[in-house]
Structure 1
């Protein structure tokens, strides 16, 4: 693979911008933005071990099952190879889950794919920090 296909700075900026928009949309319950940022094939895992499809996750946000009060998402590393990108970092958040306040602090892996010239979230997987 040619070096130009790996970690192009423009691609890294675009993926980081998409990550920022995604987290902002989660906090704002902006379902239109989330719908456009998430691939139809999305697999969204939660720190509880539950996993949602795109439709399931958006419905849980729409219904108020998940209400994000605060989200921080520092990024440690972005790796872009061709039309795929991995975002490695952390996600800390205060949220309500089915009306119950929770605070989470996870390591996070987001997988993005480029389709039709734009980046979409394909998979998200948190890992709780060791106690």
Structure 2
């Protein structure tokens, strides 16, 4: 099952890089809580809106030290994410530890929570 979550995470990051709102919409849970490394938060609707309007333009994303724990119908993904993103036209470099949570509903996994923590320089 962790292979399935790895594939979903790969797909999610690819959709972020491509600005693929339809792909993100299909995998994000209605009650998504997406926290950013600057502590701002987005719902599913606000996150998709920002990706769709190009407010978040992901240029590069890499993941390291990923670990997946599956507890019944919940998958908890932890690791380190580095990258570059333009936020409102301003380039930001990312270097975060993160927790990402997927919830299984029936035969489908939905992305419900993302929480990054900046790694001190």
TM-score (norm 1): 0.89
The answer to which of 120-129 and 66-75 deviates more is 66-75
Of residues 60, 75, 78, the one that matches 1:88 is 78
**Contact 1:14–1:119 under 8 Å retained in 2:** no
Specify the alignment match of 1:4 in structure 2. Answer: none
Segments of 5+ residues of structure 2 without an aligned counterpart are none
Query: Which residue of structure 1 aligns with residue 63 of structure 2?
Result: 73
**Greater strand content:** 2
- Give the Å deviation of 1:73: 1.5
Q: Find the residue that maps to 1:56 and give its secondary structure.
A: helix
CA 1:75–1:113: 2 relative to 1, 3 Å: farther
Of 85, 89, 94, which aligns to 1:99? Answer: 89
Is 1:34 aligned with 2:24? yes
Q: Residue 59 in 1 paired to residue 49 in 2?
A: yes
Instruction: Indicate the residue corresponding to 1:45 in structure 2.
Output: 35
SS in 2 for 1:22: helix
| Counterpart check, 1:119 vs 2:109 | yes
Return the index of the structure with the highest Cα Rg.
Answer: 1
The unaligned stretches of length 5 or more in structure 1 are: 1-10
Q: Would you identify which runs of 4 or more consecutive aligned residues in structure 1 move more than 3 Å?
A: none
- Provide the alpha-carbon RMSD of the alignment: 0.9
Q: Distance in 1 between matches of 2:86 and 2:98?
A: 19
Deviation at 1:115, TM superposition (A): 1.2
